[in-house]
A = this chain, B = another copy of it.
């Protein structure tokens, strides 16, 4: 016995297939969609198709863009000699929010992860090497996450780029601003000590 009409069940299933959405939430979301006006439901469905259809990767930095060069690669105000390498487009957004970085980016779309069968060839490393080989880039800042896989990816990429005579740096490790020494883990404290600076 089905409890909801088939089209509603189908919508619940669609929502339930999204990451982090359980059965009960999926039901709530599907009922919410039914309560929308026709125009609102069409706007929602349209946004899905539109995003899927128009959002592509920037041919230079592989960041997401709505066709053509991304705004950062297209901007003449950004310093083309510095490239910040991140794993994910969301990391670009995080860096941009800090309003400190004025260079350009390169998005790898993943990290090297043998456990998940992701090797160097699955990442946007070839396009990064080509970019560096062209000779404009002076410094590559590796801004992958400070975990094992991000670390391995940073090391691998650095080795790959060294032959081109480019400077490869890594984001600083340390106590997060506003954090408590008391709650910092050993590895972070050790790195914070190693990276200490004169004041």
Contacts and interface: CB of A to CB of B under 8 A. Distances in A.
A188 interface: no
Contacts of A44: 14, 48
Interface residues of A, number: 53
A155 B92 CA distance: 58
Given A5-B65, A7-B66, A66-B6, A33 B19 contact: no
Interface of A: 1-8, 10-11, 13-14, 18-21, 25, 27-34, 36, 38, 41-55, 64-66, 70-71, 89-90, 92-93, 96-97
A6 B51 CA distance: 8
A7 B50 contact: yes
Contacts of A11: 47-48, 50-51
Oligomer: number of copies: 2
Contact of A19 (B1, B29, B38, B43): B29
Which are the 4 A-B pairs with shortest beta-carbon distances? A3-B93, A5-B66, A45-B45, A41-B52
